[in-house]
Copies of this chain bind each other. A is one copy, B any other.
Amino acid sequence: MLDLETISFGNDSEISDDASSTKTPLREEVMQTLLNKIISGELEPGAKLTESKLAEELGVSRTPVREALFYLERDGFVKNDLAKGFSVSQLSAREVRESFPILESLEVLALRSLGPFAAANVNELKRLNQAFSKAAGNSNECIAIDNLWHETLLGRCPNQRLLALIKNLKHAIMRYEHLYMIDASLVAMSVSQHAAVIKQLEAGNMDAAVAALETNWRFSRDAMLVRIGETSY
């Protein structure tokens, strides 16, 4: 049972205040709604985000919209030019070139913190990797499963702050993953790279597992850069 977590591509715009969401502030719901629209591409890079328009569209006032936008700014989804307002930040080769090595370093740190005899749930990783392979063709599902695979790999890392940071940075690059996961042959590459990590973990060879994980990150980065180049930015 795959839980797609924060990734829901439902496109009903109105914020509904059903009983279950009574405890979350509006700013949280607005933030999540906007995040989904940005990640899914409904709000395209460069799009102007006018506070009053969004407020009316979502049926709330400007206040929670502003607070949500400030929050999204922190993770790089939107930018805020003084007195000119918010807009969806552009996809850029530079962001990929800069973000991927950071995430690679942090995931390596998290992986090593699991200790040499990896406590990672190898069976779950294998199961997810199979599902990943089968999902080729459906980029949304691929993205979700790939994220889940990495979360499962590192989930037992005791450094909560590190995991939170990784999650945040991942958010920021999620928009780019479509460019990668749309290509079934690239998905296949990722699947085999994941398998290599699993194999080394099973063998208790942490250094080799780290190297395999690094390979995975570097390959996806390069492939993504090609894609971005193709789509001309």
Binding site for B on A (CB under 8 A): 23-25, 66-67, 70-71, 74, 82-83, 95, 97-99, 101-102, 105-106, 108-109, 113, 159-162, 165
Contact = CB atoms under 8 A, between A and B. Distances in A.
B98 A162 contact: yes
Contacts of A98: 159-162
Report copies per complex: 2
B25 A162 contact: no
Chain A interface, DSSP helix/strand/loop, else mixed: helix
A162 B101 contact: yes
Given A23-B82, A71-B70, A82-B25, A101 B109 contact: yes
Contacts of A66: 67
A105 B109 contact: yes
Given A70-B70, A70-B71, A82-B23, A161 B109 contact: no
10 contacts: A25-B82, A66-B67, A70-B71, A74-B74, A101-B113, A101-B162, A102-B106, A102-B109, A102-B162, A106-B106
